Amino acid sequence: MTKKKIWELEGKILELKKKRDAVILAHNYQLAEVQDVADYRGDSLELSRIAAKTDAKVIVFCGVHFMAETASILSPDKKVIMPDIVSGCPMANMLSANDLKKLKKEHPKAVSVGYVNTSAEVKAELDYCCTSTNAVAVVNALRDYEEIIFVPDKYLADFVSKRTGRKLISWKGFCPTHIKILPEDIRREKRFHPAAKVMVHPECLSQVVDMADAALSTSQMGKFAKESDAKEFIVGTEVGIIYRLKQDNPDKEFYPASERAVCPNMKRTTQEKILWALEELKEEVRVPDDIRKRAKRAIDRMLEIV
Ligand code: CIZ
Ligand code: SF4
């Protein structure tokens, strides 16, 4: 697209956003053109909390389906729409509510903790929700339980288990994007940038997490980059975050650990689709009330801990 076309589109989005009383939220992994028109950027929970606080009537959620669902769970009176309703999270899709029910039946004494990357139906079956920012804190708070189910990401489970010293009953889920980052990628980038700090997401392969200076969620990466004395960073997560890190820290350099770490679902949303969504107020994501109430319990319990 030409620059002029982009400005025209951005202008139209801005105008229509006001008319519709809408706010645009973009996940840290979204395309630069989407981040550019967003009112707020953040990780899934940060965005859902913003959605709950805003006075706007319409939330345009640029991310994947479970994130829009989480926003709807926390703000049922608002209209949550996704510019691309097909954008899902393969990891979230690796665990169904029935899978979890079965796992709970096999371990009747266990307390169940689930990553935010799960469907609303799965959250409704969970005792606690967690994010990559607070997973360690949530598991540490469950000392009174002998057994802990931790789903769906086996790599996040491994990370949390190592940090808490707790044995976890995990699931076979994983993020197809983060596992593309390989130990040899980290070794190569370290050779190119010997002074750089390595920060990776705990969804990465355990071997990759073990090689990093820090394993952090995307919101924690933003903080770490700002507060660290280092001037260069090797970033082991979805490449979309590099755009934001560079904007927020213009005097620092950020190198993707692997250019292959692209989440195709996160890249489906475009400015054009945002405009269409605002025009038609579609596609709406709404969680049925019975599921919403039970799913919210798991989120509230997490918020009580952190
Ligand atoms: O919770 C999120 O937004 C995800 C999936 C990643 C992260 O660490 O921000
Ligand atoms: Fe899901 Fe991975 Fe994409 Fe995040 S990067 S939305 S965990 S597939």
pLDDT band at residue 36 under the 50/70/90 scheme: very high
Query: Residue 3: its pLDDT value, please?
Result: 72
Best residue for ligand 2 mutational test, from 265, 267, 268 (most atoms within 8 Å of Cβ): 265
More confident residue, 8 or 197: 197
> Counting atoms of ligand 2 from 1, which one is nearest the CA of 203?
7
pLDDT, one tens digit per residue, over 238-259 is: 999 999 999 999 999 999 999 9
pLDDT, one tens digit per residue, over 44-61 is: 999 999 999 999 999 999
pLDDT, one tens digit per residue, over 175-186 is: 999 999 999 999
Measured from the CB, is residue 175 less than 6 Å from ligand 2?
yes
203/153 Cα distance (integer angstroms): 7
Q: If we measure between CA atoms, which residue out of 5, 62, 66 comes closest to residue 37?
A: 62
The whole-number average pLDDT for the span 9-14 is 96
Ligand nearest to the CA of 265: 2
Measured from the CB, is residue 90 less than 6 Å from ligand 2?
yes
Best residue for ligand 1 mutational test, from 61, 69, 116 (most atoms within 8 Å of Cβ): 116
Give the sheet arrangement for strand 128-130, strand by strand. 128-130, 111-115, 148-151, 169-170
pLDDT, one tens digit per residue, over 90-137 is: 999 999 999 999 999 999 999 999 999 999 999 999 999 999 999 999
pTM, two decimal places: 0.96
Q: Is the pLDDT of residue 6 over 80?
A: no
Measured from the CB, is residue 266 less than 6 Å from ligand 2?
yes
Q: Domains of the chain, with CATH numbers? A: 3-89+266-286 (3.40.50.10800), 92-174 (3.40.50.10800), 178-256 (3.40.50.10800)
Q: Is the pLDDT of residue 80 over 90?
A: yes
Any idea of the CA torsion for 246, 201, 60, 91, to the nearest 10 degrees? Answer: 150
